[in-house]
């Protein structure tokens, strides 16, 4: 648990907006995976600040919460 908090603190750097690289690090994913998820619409919500893509930490956490499963056969659909 402590590892998660320190990773979030390093990714956040006192700002709620994360770059793709920081968001990927926070989630434990590669930047390329996060980019593909953005393209297909399966990743966390993101924002465009000019030409830059930014992820709000609350949007990342909400997306992650919605990905919880009880088993590998659980599709998450109700």
Q: Domain ranges in the chain?
A: 2-65
Please report the pLDDT score of residue 54 as a whole number. Answer: 96
Please report the pLDDT score of residue 68 as a whole number. Answer: 83
Please report the pLDDT score of residue 10 as a whole number. Answer: 66
- pLDDT by residue for the chain (78 residues), tens only, comes to 456 666 666 665 678 899 999 999 999 999 999 999 999 999 999 999 999 999 999 999 999 998 887 888 877 766
Please say whether the structural domain 2-65 has been given the CATH code 1.10.720. no
Report the alpha-carbon angle 55-58-50, nearest 5.
25
């Amino acid at each position: 648990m402590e590892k998660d908090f320190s990773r979030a603190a390093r990714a956040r750097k006192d700002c709620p907006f994360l770059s793709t690289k920081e968001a990927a690090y926070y989630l434990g994913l590669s930047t390329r995976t996060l980019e593909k998820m953005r393209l297909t619409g399966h990743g966390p919500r993101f924002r465009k600040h000019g030409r830059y893509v930014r992820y709000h930490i609350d949007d990342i956490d909400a997306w992650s919460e919605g990905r919880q499963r009880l088993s590998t056969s659980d599709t998450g659909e109700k």
